[in-house]
Amino acid sequence: MSVVPPAPFADLCSLCKDLSDLSAISGLLGWDEQVMMPSGATSARARQKAAMAAVIHEKATSKQLASAIAAAKQISSQLGPFESATVRDADRNYEMAVGVPSELERKIASKEVESVHAWVAAREKSDYQAFESHIREMLALVKEKAVSMKPSAKTYDTMIDVFERGMTAERLTEIFDSVAEPLKIVLDKVLDMKEKSTKKVHPALLGGDDWDVHKQAQLSKDICQVLGFDMDKGRIDVSVHPFTGGAGQDDVRITTRYSKELPFEGIMGTIHETGHAMYEQGRNDKYAGLPVSDALSMGVHESQSLFWERMIGQNVNFWHAVLPKIHEKLPHTKQVSAEDLFFAVNQVNRGFIRVDADELTYPFHVILRFELEKQLVDGTLDVKDLPSAWNEGMRKHLGVEVPNDKMGCLQDIHWPSGAFGYFPSYTLGAMTAAQLFQHLKTEVMPDVEDKLRNGEFEGVREWLRSEIHEVGSLYPSLDDLLQKVTGEPLNAQYFLQYLEDKYTRMYA
């Protein structure tokens, strides 16, 4: 027998579900913009997104919503944990939105379309100067919004909190400082071992015309379904920058990209986005459309994509499981073993591109962006000087010389779209994924490696669904969620140990 929720809570739920549906429509506009929209529609799409942003903002800051939240708070003692979390997050969302002028939301939505369009063109020509004015304007608008949201808080902390609730620049600095030097030691050690090793990537796995992009797409679709992506409630397309979007858990849309020269870009990118997508498809049906069903943070979201990409997809047992599909779709790999594939996808190199970076060098790409964001926001770095600061940071962190802006500060869509504060979530997600996998194999599923080798992914998926996906935003922070699931808050040592153990063994 179902329990009828108290009227004040039911009223709040109705308003929250309307907001969720409007956000879903906005999500579809964004997906179409990146995947299907003709280039000549940029101005029209900017107007459409601006209009939608204004409608959403009006409802998100309405007196009706404020009254519903106040009424629901009055009956909090009658509510269960998921219901209480819904009221808590509805209140948080309202407080963060109510100070932001509607016209500012319209400006940001419109500028985002224009900025991303300009970024695509500038990136193609490797011409930062052509994009400089757009990033300057977008940064100013996002800073203005952050100040409007929390006037008494540090601006960059507010930007971070949008994506990683409860996190601050100071805490992130502590986390990154704790891993940067130990990670550099591991990286130098592994690269030295690699140089001395006689192991080489199998010639069939180096890319070339045999890696037909249509066959790669078929293989990627097969793999994402084997992992558990429900194609009845999702689809896969191609975009310049891979992402997962759509309109909620019943309409989840993956995008990826394929290349003959980078043969694993499409497969591994698809596995990564499948992790995001299964988080979305696994959200709690009972609370669909309510704040508590939303992903807790982007760090948690990234932990799911990186769990599947790295803990599973870069695990030798995964390649044993999918080897027949590889041979079927790509006949030129008939002589390639699972060990060959494992070795190929786990190569360590100092490179320029974040999305192509290996596990060991990836955190340095994130740390660089975190440092630059802080400086851009506090004004110690001018937008015009971003390319030179970027290039100097790459020399400092990874010892590489950036050849051009396309492979440097123009490579990511985040700043063009206004997502300042997002980048730290990638490495928080990697750390979380390592901690979750350590707990899974030591406390929950000791035979997990055997299951992966046999292609039995359902148990892992269902564990993540029950412990992470369906829980949504029940807990107020990443630390609280990890405390509940693993028995301790975020602990970066699991991440460091995982990397050292894996890569020193691989090159031994």
> What length does the chain have?
508
Cα separation, 282 vs 93, whole angstroms = 23
Strands (E), 29-85: none
The DSSP string of 207-248 is: -STTS-HHHHHHHHHHHHHHHT--GGGEEEEE-SS--EEESS
CB atoms within 10 A of CB 502: 17
**What are the distances in angstroms from CA 441 to CA 114, 174, 310, 463?**
47, 28, 15, 12
HSE at residue 276, side-chain half, CA atoms within 13 A, is 25
pLDDT tens for the 508 residues of the chain, in order: 355 578 889 999 999 999 999 999 998 998 888 888 898 998 898 889 888 988 998 999 999 999 999 999 999 888 999 999 999 999 999 999 999 998 898 899 889 989 998 999 999 999 999 999 999 999 999 999 999 999 999 999 999 999 999 899 999 999 999 999 999 999 999 999 999 988 899 999 998 999 999 999 999 999 999 999 999 998 988 887 788 888 888 899 998 888 898 888 889 999 999 999 999 999 999 999 999 999 999 999 999 999 999 999 999 999 999 999 999 999 999 999 999 999 999 999 999 999 889 999 999 999 999 999 999 999 999 999 999 999 999 999 999 999 999 999 999 999 999 999 999 999 999 999 999 999 999 999 999 999 999 999 999 999 999 999 999 999 999 999 999 999 999 999 999 999 999 999 988 7
Q: What angle do CA 226, 227, 231 make, to 5 degrees?
A: 70
Burial class (CB in 10 A: 0-12, 13-18, 19+), 34: buried
Phi-psi region of 147 (alpha: psi -120 to 50; beta: other; left: phi over 0): alpha
User: For residue 117, what are the β-bridge partners?
Assistant: none
Q: Is the distance from CB of 507 to CB of 193 less than 8 angstroms?
A: yes
Indicate where the chain has its CATH 1.10.1370.30 domain(s): 169-506
pLDDT recorded at residue 49: 87
Catalytic residue (one of 33, 112, 265, 273): 273
DSSP-derived 3-state class of residue 484: helix
> Is 169-506 a domain of CATH 1.20.1560.10?
no
What's the pLDDT at 238?
Answer: 84
Angle at 246 between CA 245 and CA 252, to 5 degrees: 90
pLDDT of residue 172: 95
* pLDDT score, position 491: 95
- Per the annotation, the verdict on 265 as an active-site residue is no
| Number of alpha carbons in the 13 Å side-chain half-sphere of residue 67 | 6
- How high is the pLDDT of residue 4? 55
